[in-house]
Amino acid sequence: MPLPSKQEMIYSYLLDMFEKDTLKNGRLPSENELAARIGVARRTLRYTLARLENEGFLIRTNHGTFLRKKHRRTEALPVTVLVPCSDYHTASGYWSSFLTHQTILGAMEASVKAGTYAVTLPVTTDNDPTVLDIRQINHLDQESMVIFHGIEWAPGLIPILIERKCRCGIISYYKVDLEKFAKYDIPIFNIYLEEYWECLGSAVEQLVQDGAEKVVYFGRNSTDISKNGKIYFEEACKKLQLECDMKEQYVLFDKNLPHHQLLAQLRDIYNRTHFDGLIFDSNLYYELPGDLDFFGETGIPGRTKMILGVSELLKHPDLPEHTRVLHRPQKKIAGQLAEFLLSGKKGQFSCHCEYEFPLLEEFFRRTERE
């Protein structure tokens, strides 16, 4: 009777490993480690791994190779974060890559606490949401737990997620119409940012609590927060009986203005108004010039109460401890979505996200990996 082929021997060995369920969180060792353990060449092992993947036993991701749900005894399934493309860090700029990174961290930390893990799945090859990479999306199992940015980003995802009855955690700019999903009985938790520019009113109130008496907003002319937040800024100033000259205290700048010219413009505003509270939605998200001296170039005293937008400026060594950050708590949002998905809770829910204003040290603590 002929002996089984080497591939069949490896195949049987791995199936036995799966049956004994000795894998931590369902994750296989690296190919090098596994090949050495079995005593075969890595190339030979790959043939068997490919077969097991085609048969539905395994799923391969950028973070490793895992045993699929239906072949595992553990109930701890991974949370999948759908990201725009595999190189989102360089393709999307600091702001978008920052938010994506925070989403991954939030999902990961919540998953680890629940005894499982998070994986990322790029859904496009070139960050074009109208052209989905179906080969990647095919890695989603039935009833996968999925976190992604709103349906307005990639509407083509929705039919796929519905067909596979995925549990969905959705971050969106507008409240998702859950009635459209009710008949499919898909668990959904939607956290939406609708009219998030209301935060400018809250930012004025925060600066007044910190001791400011005259507040200026200085922001990019291209952003929704600048275009739509003016009325909330003005209403808060009037409510708190602050001096409010909107021509002088609500100033928008061209996002392409060079750094030193930008700070010179802010210096002129300070010389005219002598504000003691500043909301600065800066565009300084590229590498800062080595000679940039924020307080020297603007003439703003270090005691000024400030709320700064997320940018590289937050890393400036001379910023005082009382500096606050205009912060969309993306990591916390993703953690809440992951907790919902992992809880097994059914139903469809929505809640509004509120911007926050943590102190500088607290902001970095919140946004770094725990």
Q: Residue 339 in contact with residue 116, Cβ under 8 Å?
A: no
Q: Residue 325 in contact with residue 206, Cβ under 8 Å?
A: no
pLDDT at 3 over 50: no
Indicate whether 126 belongs to any domain.
Answer: yes
Which one has a higher pLDDT value, 339 or 59?
339
318 shares a domain with 220:
yes
Average pLDDT of span 353-366: 95
Q: Where does a domain end: 71, 91, 123?
A: 71
* DSSP symbols for 127-184: S-TTS--HHHHTTPPTT-EEEEE-TTT-TTHHHHHHHTT-EEEEEESS---THHHHTT
pLDDT given for residue 36 in this prediction: 87
CA-based angle 194:196:199, to the nearest 5? 150
Strands 58-61 and 64-67: antiparallel
pLDDT at 322 over 50: yes
pLDDT given for residue 155 in this prediction: 77
pLDDT at 312 over 50: yes
pLDDT at 107 over 80: yes
In angstroms and rounded to an integer, the radius of gyration of the C-alpha atoms of the chain is 25
pLDDT above 90 as % of the chain: 46
Q: Which of 143-147, 202-206, 290-294, 323-327 has the lowest mean pLDDT?
A: 290-294
Does the CA dihedral 236-239-240-243 come out positive or negative? positive
276 shares a domain with 252:
yes
Name the band, by pLDDT with cuts 50, 70 and 90, for residue 364: very high
Average pLDDT of span 253-260: 87
pLDDT given for residue 327 in this prediction: 92
Average pLDDT of span 259-285: 91
Residue 238 C-alpha from the chain's centroid = 35
Average pLDDT of span 265-280: 97
232 shares a domain with 117:
no
Average pLDDT of span 56-60: 77
Task: CATH number of the domain at 16, please.
Answer: 1.10.10.10
pLDDT at 203 over 60: yes
Given the structure tokens 């500043």, which residue do they identify? Answer: 278
Q: How far apart are CA 65 and CA 58, in angstroms?
A: 7
Average pLDDT of span 134-160: 82
Q: Residue 218 in contact with residue 266, Cβ under 8 Å?
A: yes
Given the structure tokens 């291209």, which residue do they identify? Answer: 222
Average pLDDT of span 111-135: 83
Indicate whether 248 belongs to any domain.
Answer: yes
Query: Which structure tokens are listed for 230?
Result: 């003016």
Indicate whether 343 belongs to any domain.
Answer: yes
CA-based angle 84:90:96, to the nearest 5? 55
pLDDT given for residue 10 in this prediction: 84
Average pLDDT of span 344-360: 94
Work out the mean pLDDT of the chain and round it to a whole number. Answer: 86
Indicate whether 1 belongs to any domain.
Answer: no
Q: Residue 138 in contact with residue 161, Cβ under 8 Å?
A: no
User: What is the domain count for the chain?
Assistant: 3
Q: Which residues of 62-82 are buried (b: 16+ CB within 10 A; e: fewer)?
A: eebbbbbbebbeeeebbbbbb
* DSSP symbols for 301-359: -TTSEEEEESSGGGG-TT--TT-EEEB--HHHHHHHHHHHHHHT--SEEEEE---B--B
Given the structure tokens 């991974």, which residue do they identify? Answer: 78
Name the band, by pLDDT with cuts 50, 70 and 90, for residue 5: low
79 CB-near residues (< 8 Å, 6+ apart): 107, 110, 111, 116, 117, 118, 119, 145, 146, 147, 338, 341, 342
DSSP secondary structure code for residue 94 in this structure: H
pLDDT given for residue 84 in this prediction: 77
Single-letter residue type at 370: E
Which one has a higher pLDDT value, 243 or 128?
243
Q: Residue 123 in contact with residue 82, Cβ under 8 Å?
A: yes
Task: State in Å, rounded, how far the first CA of the chain is from the last one.
Answer: 58
Q: How far apart are CA 202 and CA 354, in angstroms?
A: 10
Which one has a higher pLDDT value, 4 or 96?
96
| Strand-pair partners of 170 | 148, 190
335 shares a domain with 188:
yes
Task: CATH number of the domain at 120, please.
Answer: 3.40.50.2300
Residue 256: give the domain boundaries: 197-326
111 shares a domain with 27:
no
268 shares a domain with 152:
no
